[in-house]
Amino acid sequence: MEIHCLRSCSEIRAPNLTLISAIFVTKQGIMFRTFLRSYKVILLYGVSLAALLFLMRWLEFRLLIIDHAIELYAAVIAIVFLVLGIWLAKQLTKPKTVLVEKTIYVSPSENFERNEKVVEELGISKRELEVLELIAQGFSNHEIAERLFVSLNTIKTHSSKLFEKLEVNRRTQAVEVAKRLGIISL
């Protein structure tokens, strides 16, 4: 067990500790203190319940329960519903975070200039560029094959080579990377 002697509370970054309580601090002591802070409400209810039980025993609760059974049951039910109502009211009145998602459509730039340096560095052919542009427009492999007058397997080959060159796994990732690198227009 390590015991550290501290000159000030700021050395352990615990501003809530007083100097007297921070003179000898152990790792277990800090963990116990955080445990108490975390479960303060539960411990408070537990202690309150124990005190209430002691009080009931002290007042010879048998006599009270026998004489006033209905009133006690009604009081217990009322207290349970009171606590439940307070908790529910707190839950319902918490401010809710609303996430607003907007779709912004950007028209393609009229003055788009392809980044030929990146195209050459990646080794993307003219045909692969055509396939990439059609993928970006949302066409399926079958539709791209019909537009370029080639077989479906050729389009699949061009797509897989594009994915390797752009280091991606999916069509949407390929389009995103190509736009970011300036290979195709936004």
Conformation bin of residue 13: beta by default, left when phi > 0, alpha when psi is -120 to 50:
left
Indicate the fold that domain 116-181 takes in CATH: Arc Repressor Mutant, subunit A (1.10.10)
Tens of pLDDT, residue by residue over 120-159, are: 999 999 999 999 999 999 999 999 999 999 999 999 999 9
Stretches in the chain below the pLDDT threshold 70: 1-29, 60-62, 64-65, 104-110, 186
CA pair distance 144, 127, nearest whole angstrom? 11
**pTM over cut 0.85:** no
**One-letter identity of residue 178:** A
Q: How far apart are CA 180 and CA 170, in angstroms?
A: 16
List the chain domain ranges: 116-181
Residue 25 gets which letter from DSSP? E
